[in-house]
Structure 1
Amino acid sequence: MLKGIQYRAPLSLEAIAEGGFSYAEIPYEVLANNALPTYKKKAGDNRILMVSGLICELHGLTPDKLYDVLEICRKYQGHYVVLSTMNCEPEVLENVVEECAMMISDYKIPIFLENGCRGDDEIGYIHNTYSDVSDLMKTAQYCNRLCEEPMVGICYNIGYGNLLAKNIRSQIYQCKDYLCAIHANDNGGTRNDKQMPYTFTKGRGDLVTDWYHIVQELIHMEFGGWLIFDTTGLFGRCPEKLQAQYIRLMHAIAEDWESQYTFAERVLNKPDKKLILFGAGQMLTDYMRVFGEKYPPYFAVDNGQSRWGTKVFGVSVKSPQEILTVPAGERNVVICCMYYDAIGAQLREMGVEYEEFHDQYFV
């Protein structure tokens, strides 16, 4: 994935770079009005902050305005244009593309149509023409037929899907052939809060937005497009001195998601080592259903003595001390239990290196 943060004041460009991101998505109006502040590097800082792309309102779009958007995007070496469809009437893009399909083809800057809805935080949110990916795909198909080559794809805004109680995982799956970008933000399902992922919970800590299954679907489809954190609500409220800290946290979230993409190849595909799973409960069962056939464990261990000498899915369960009977250079230990911190501390005390299996992303 290519990762970035959507810029809007009062967020600073310096905080974006300091937080670890190399790309910033910029609103068209900011660049059109020459309102983008200068990025000021600190002494000795060699980081480069680049424009990932532009975001522009589809409402009121005309051929002349699209020309200006594409021209500015090219000037700033952006990679795409996202068209926001919040509170937008139907058939706007189709009418514009009918007039300037050749111009779009000449610029070769892809256009991503974002899902949206109608309403606001006061009256609530309802569907509009752009709320469901089936309608977005129809629009993209029509526009692409007019261009010399496919130039229109989809940007899925997870927060907007959540406002309409969409099955976001299903929506992403349906539009996988058109999905080019993700706008990641969180809300409680009623207000367009635009906070960072994992912010909102319900009941006894259940996530309002099903982030694990969303990422699971992205893993299954091998999504390699843009992941942009669209968290303007967060930066509209947090103190400026905390901006870089929050961005570091979002960068860590993106890295964690990316690590799940490579989990099997990075962690399990070690044919010269013996795979040992720490944990013989439900997560071991989940592991065996997902990876057991391709990456069978040498054995499993568990702290529960009652499980020693038993088998789970044909895997022998032993005492944790049995790990040490396998030479360090020949073993591949993976925690397969929800108590990662406690088991991690136990393994470190034993002098054992380990990885972690997080079944939420795979089951």
Structure 2
Amino acid sequence: MKVVCSPVGIVEYRRPRGGLEKLAQSGFSETVVDFGLFAGGFAGEKRRAEAEAHWQEWADRYVEEARRQGMPLGLAFAPHFESEQKVADGENLERRLAEICLQKTAGYGIEALVVRGLAGGSYAENLAKNREYFLRLGRAAQSAKIRLLVVNGYRDMNGHLVRGFCGEPAQAVAFVDELNAELGADVLGFCLDAGVCNLTGQNMCDFATGLGVRLQAVILRENDGVHDDSLLPFSSAHGSGSRMDWLNLIRGLRAVDFSGAAVLDFRTTLTALSGLLRPAMLSFAREVAKYLTWQVQMEGCLRRYPARVLFGAGNMCRAYMKCYGEEFPPLYACDNNPQVWGTEFCGLTVHAPKDLLSLSETCAIFICNVYYEEIEQQLRDMGVKNPIERFNDEFMPSFHFERLESDAWKEQVK
């Protein structure tokens, strides 16, 4: 998975240099082209003529500056107008802008364009309207040799948000497959908006696994399940946890071995901050992005090595054996506690750290303890040359609901 940062709330569309520099300084090496960033004036009729005259110029300037700074652009987003914006003739405008964006995307050499479905009408009317819309765009995308990514949406039913266009995995799969069959090629894929899933009570693991290989991009944004906000992941907290079901999203992305683009969108969080605080928030957002990437790629990391040893004979080791012990069996466990050396834990013999020096160079050591830095430094100081990775049990396929206490574990081995 490759996490990229949305420019919205960070980059000023008329003067993109400073915002793109701040992204790069925070550690984000890639971003996207969000054409909605340049279409703010379309909502008001008084400014529409001016906006239409300049928005493509602003987009070109943004892309030119990103390239000057060596920042790749792997994805683009077409503008989308929400019903509360009350854009005059919004649907026809959205159709026209999507076609222009498609051509611009191809001209920029970007691989894929994300397009949200049109709103309005009954379920059957909306599906028919979007079928015609995406089929037309799909033909243009096929000619331009770019991918078109459909997004799950919602409908507003008297203030209550319910699942809308492609809001169910079965509908999304049928829609994408049917249009690809008609086009005679895999032109359409899917972009999963995690924020929409949270608003409509969708199980994100089921959605991701249902999409399978069709899932080519994800929008990472959090909300409280009621308001359509774009908050930094893990920031909408209530009680003892997040209002967002990150557990099932991470489970789903792991299950499909997701390797596409994940777009971090936290524009709402940024609007609440002083401009003086935004650089610090960007740096923290980069740490969140690295954390999410690590969690999603956990199983892929296990799969990468032909052999592995676990360091730490405790709760995290036990979680590993419960979920991955059969698929990725370790050679043995290792622990700093001399009281457990030579004993068996979860079917593994527990070794002393010095035994790691005799491992084959292709065997990886997975640290199963939250003291990652200290243990890695210990092993390097010992002269261990093997790959060292970090395992974590916060987002497992299944859990132990009772934890081992260290004293109780010592009693077991006496």
Instruction: Report the TM-score range of the alignment, normalised by the length of the smaller protein.
Output: 0.7 to 0.9
Residue 220, structure 1, aligned to residue 255, structure 2: yes
Residue in structure 2 matching 1:112, options 130, 146, 149:
149
Q: 1:78 corresponds to which residue?
A: 110
Q: Distance in 2 between the 1:133 and 1:101 partners?
A: 20
- Measured in 2, the distance between the counterparts of 1:355 and 1:270 equals 14
The amino acid across from 2:151 in the alignment is E
Aligned pairs, number: 349
Query: If the length of structure 2 is used for normalisation, what is the TM-score?
Result: 0.71
The correspondence of residues 219-238 of structure 1 with structure 2, limited to 5 A, is 219-238=254-273
1:209 to 234, 241, 244: 244
Distance 1:99 1:24 in 2: 24
After TM superposition, the structure 1 = structure 2 runs for residues 299-338 of structure 1, keeping only pairs within 5 Å, are: 299-301=333-335, 303=337, 305=339, 310-317=343-350, 322-324=352-354, 326-327=356-357, 333-337=365-369
Query: What amino acid maps onto 1:169 in structure 2?
Result: C
Match of 1:284 among 317, 324, 330: 317
After superposition, residues 143-222 of structure 1 pair within 5 angstroms as: 143-204=179-240, 206-222=241-257
> In the alignment, which of 125, 129, 132 is matched to residue 95 of structure 1?
132
The alignment status of 1:298 with 2:329, answered yes or no, reads no
The aligned counterpart of 2:21 is 14
Cα deviation, residue 197, structure 1: 1.2
Contiguous gaps of at least 5 residues in structure 2: 12-18, 40-51, 82-89, 398-414
Query: For residues 138 and 240 of structure 1, do their structure 2 counterparts lie closer, same or farther at Cα, with a shift above 3 Å needed?
Result: same
The answer to whether the aligner puts 1:48 opposite 2:71 as a matched pair is yes
Secondary structure in structure 1 of the residue aligned to 2:78: strand
Asked if the contact 2:32/2:76 (under 8 Å) is kept, the reply is yes
SS at structure 1 position matched to 2:254? helix
Please list the CA deviations of residues 18-49 of structure 1 after superposition, one character each: whole Å capped at 9, or x if unmatched: 2223222312461762344658979xx95335
1:357 maps to 2:391: yes
Shift of 1:106: 0.9
Judged with a 3 Å threshold, the aligned counterparts in structure 2 of structure 1 residues 137 and 60 are, in CA distance, closer, same or farther, namely farther
Distance in 2 of aligned mates of 1:48 and 1:10 = 15
Report the equivalent of 1:258.
Answer: 293
Number of the residue aligned with 2:42? none
1:137 aligns with 2:173: yes
Alpha-carbon RMSD across the aligned residues, in angstroms, is 3.6
What is the TM-score normalised by the length of structure 1?
Answer: 0.80
Inter-partner Cα distance in structure 2 for 1:140 and 1:146 = 10
Between the aligned partners of 1:87 and 1:304, the Cα distance in structure 2 is 65
Q: 1:165-190 deviations in whole A, cap 9, x for unaligned?
A: 21111111111232111000011212
Q: State percent identity of aligned pairs.
A: 15
- SS of structure 1 residue aligned to 2:212: coil
> Runs of 5+ in structure 1 lacking a partner?
none
Residues 6 and 313 from structure 1, CA distance in 2 versus in 1: closer, same or farther, beyond 3 angstroms?
same
Contact 1:8 1:27 in 2 (8 A): no
Alignment deviations for residues 272-323 of structure 1 (CA, whole Å, 9 cap, x no partner): xx72421323x22221233334332423326595x566422222346xxx31
Q: 1:60 aligns with which of 86, 91, 97?
A: 91
Partner SS, residue 176 of structure 1: helix
Deviations 1:228-249 (A, max 9, x none): 1122212222233433433333
Q: CA shift at 1:2, angstroms?
A: 3.6
1:209 deviates by: 2.0
Contact kept, 8 Å, 1:126 with 1:164, in 2: the verdict is yes
| Matching residue's letter, 2:8 | R
Matched residues in 2 for 1:5 and 1:264: separation?
Answer: 23
Q: Residues 250-281 of structure 1, C-alpha deviation per residue, up to 9 Å, x if partnerless?
A: 3333333434526664798264xx72421323
Q: Is the 8 A contact 1:157 1:182 kept in 2?
A: yes
* SS at 2:167 equivalent: coil
Q: Is the 8 Å Cα contact of residues 184 and 197 (structure 1) preserved in structure 2?
A: yes
- Residue 251 of structure 1 aligns to which amino acid in structure 2? R
Question: CA 1:49 to 1:348, structure 2 compared with 1: closer, same or farther past 3 Å?
Answer: closer
